[in-house]
Amino acid sequence: MAGPPLALGGVSVELGGRLVLHDVDLELDEGELVGLIGPNGAGKTTLLRTILALQPARSGRLRVGGRAPAQARGTVGYVPQRHEFAWDFPISVEKAVLTGRAHRRRWGRPAGREDREAVRDALRRVGLAELATRPVGELSGGQRQRVLVARALAMRPRLLLLDEPFTGIDVPTQDALTELLSHLRTEGTALLMTTHDLAAAAGLCTRLCLLNRTVIADDAPARLADADVWLRAFGLARSEHLLRILGGTA
């Protein structure tokens, strides 16, 4: 791959005539797990959509493995929030995961051997191999989250984007997902994850990027001990709740 998995320089994004992101600088190397942290409305999901070429940048430079986002779609996996998937659609777990291979195939071309192998491997990695033929509508919340992760892994991506993957799942699924993300990182996958779980992010991520329309701070968790930086990122004068969380991550 030419260039780092992800490189953003001075990226600004406009939605409905309003500037929602400005001058965003962010780079991910192979094997990094970066937590994207910020309040609601900070632009976290918008940034993921821009990296996926679903939302155009107004200005700045954005490269995925040295290529423009639209040219690199086949190398990026994406785990959306669960409500974004149509769980009432009559489709099996296996076929739902296969949809993750769409950018790897020409339009209208049936799934081939490589596609089926990628799906089987992804289902095995998330612990759903035995549920391959089950309708997605019959799955629990934790199982649905694992389907979304498997669908992204079926891309065999070099860059994996995750939007709030730990929200609303049970503890066993949280533990399994944490272990999987750690394995992916050691295998060289670059991961960018939005999350509101500050304590979990501090323990899991190699870096934390504090975002509020622009990057407020970007460093290893142990080096982000200044409470003022966090309060500024969340747009707060003071928050006892946030300070208690930060105290627990130190």
Which tokens go with 147?
A: 């389907």
Query: 102: burial class by Cβ within 10 Å (0-12, 13-18, 19+)?
Result: middle
Of 58, 66, 59, which Cα lies nearest the Cα of 27?
66
The pLDDT tens digits for 171-230 are 888 999 999 999 999 999 999 999 988 888 888 999 999 999 999 999 999 898 888 888
Which position has the higher pLDDT, 19 or 83? Answer: 19
Least confident of 29-43, 137-151, 217-231: 217-231
Q: Are 181 and 33 in contact (CB under 8 A)?
A: yes
Report pLDDT for 245. 59
C-alpha–C-alpha distance, residues 233 and 219, integer Å: 14
**How far is residue 57 from each of residues 10, 122, 147, 237, measured CA to CA in Å?**
10, 32, 30, 31
Amino acid 118: pLDDT: 94
Q: What residue ranges define each of the domains in the chain, with the CATH number in brackets?
A: 6-84+158-249 (3.40.50.300)
DSSP assigned state of 64: B
The pTM of the whole model exceeds 0.85? yes
